[in-house]
Structure 1
Amino acid sequence: MIDAHFCTALRIVVSNWRSQLTAEEMTQQLCDPVAFGLAMLPALDVELAKLGCTRTDVHGFAWQTPCLHLRSVFDPLGIPDTPLDFRPIPDCAGTLVARATAILSLAAIGADAVSYGSENGGDLFVNLVVIPGEGRVSEKSQGKMNGHTDGVSFPIRGHRDPEDSRIAPSPDFVCLSALRNPNAVPTTVMPLDAILNQLDPQDIHELQKPQYILQSQLTFRDGMEEILGQELLVDDAQLLFRMNSGFWIRFSHSSTQTAAAGESPAKQAMQALAKACLDCFIPVTLAPGDIAIVNNRIALHGRTKVGEEHGGQSRWMLRTYGLDTSELDDSQRHPDSTFMLFP
């Protein structure tokens, strides 16, 4: 019931906020998502208390759940035709309410809404849509996506990049807000616990060794070149991290390889991990007005094939990231931004 209570409280608080402001005023407040989230939390606490729930309950539930599916948590009515690129996001009541709900939901589980300057110009929210044309980006927007964690070349929280301490951690959460999904294309979620149950102890041991190479994912590569002067590659990376509560993971089918060429226990473990992802996925179909908060530490995610339909009334999600930023230092942020992280 915690997720249902959370949805109810979020709807009430954001609806009250929206009713008091013009679209221009809403847009202005969302320019500082950290301040917005903090300012809205007291009202959320009041509504949760009416339902016999607390923010501590929500926080604990979210950290134990590979994917928190918030159903009918915002109203996407009045949105324009689906955009044709990652950015910009049209400013209208439907997208503004979606963004406000996402920011508040992340704040409630102890995470700031964040972006990375190296991806899509550092925009806090991006459109996940079919992009027409030719080339790898367009093809990727139409096809299925295998299991991965986002920001795979960034360190997990609590660790630092061995070559550049300025590199911020990858996100704790990936937040997907559904504006349209006419063909009910599911997001696929692969819980880490289920994956590990399919792996041999030796494979789990190999995945904890620093013997893999991580390449930046496609949407980050151009920005990495602009900011760092080169693509971010991580040599001698481990994929699986033992934490107090279990394991955390970072992995991408398309961006991970073994440091040593040829067959090896490391490669066998990576192949076993990839196979387990295929065997363990759970389809999560987002209806308009739903939000999925995928835990980027204890789950991988992907999607089934989207298809070629673009614009008009085609599939449209908004995506942002959430991260506990309490341990970041100033060098891991871009100047003059409360949400944009380095690089």
Structure 2
Amino acid sequence: MNSKRLLGRIFGALSLFAALPIAAGAQAQSFPSGNITIIAPYSAGSPADTLARRLAEGMAKSLNATVLVENVVGAGGIIGTLRAQKAAPDGHTLVIGTQGTLMMNKFIYKNLRYRPDQDFDPIVNLVEFPNLVVAPASLNVKTLKEFVSLAKERAAAGKPLTYGSGGVGSSAHLAAELLKMRAGIELTHVPYKSVADTLSDLLTGRIDLIFGNVGVFGPHVEKGSLVGLAVTAPERSKALPEVPSIVEAGYPDAEFSVWLGLFAPAKTPTDILEKLKSAAVASMAVPATRTSFATEGAEVKASASGSFRDFIAKDAAKWRPIISKLGIEIEN
């Protein structure tokens, strides 16, 4: 090969590499090129749905685009998550991922049809919801310590207390099992289709405990029909300041907040992910949005700094041995 041809190939290759950042930047500048859809993998009115709709409104303004919310319900969030997995990685289809769907499920389901670590790009952690530990007023316990003492008495008599949840592997199930482990008590699990379905049975005393959403169960605590034993966070909830934190209640190792974040299909270009992250953070920074979530007992976590992927990895390292020890496993 003569020197002129060799130099031509070298300059051609250098030109190609020099053009790559320009092409990537142009891709971000042209995004979005159409409507953006945020998949909420739970029903209308659920925390994920409410979050998606508030997020969509703010992101639409930041991106000067139409941002739609689509509820794709079923299998505890798995159906909607699968829909997002199959979408083109161009930033126009996103999904609200939960601690369950995009972290815990990989330890719980034997044949999960998606790979949380490989099939999705984490964009930003949005909010965290601590659980409200509630018992019916008829149980005549005022504190979590009193509940634990009663649970030990009932178990010794062969009549264990019960707790409800939204099903095996749900956050309420795992939170209650974590408390059982930390407090050394026996409780009988009564699974329902959703946590909301437990409310009537809790109010009538058919079940003895639930780990639920502050927004759903808090009003009944304020009325006195339910007793708030603790909020599973290091500090008290601004929505229910009279209810002690799990630390104050004496069980700091039972702390448990459910996070919800924004995800894109894997291999979405980095510059588009950054643009989406900036829009999401700006949307969640609106004072009215932060106040609205605070009244529901949630804390907005969206921040331009920090790695959401690293946060998920740290949370997974905490929960993997716990789920393994509990022996929770679902075949699907």
Task: Look at both structures and tell me which one has the larger radius of gyration over its CA atoms.
Answer: 2
Tell me the TM-score range normalised by the shorter chain: under 0.3
Q: Does 1 or 2 have the higher relative contact order (CA < 8 Å, sep 6+)? A: 1
**TM-score with structure 1 length normalisation?**
0.26
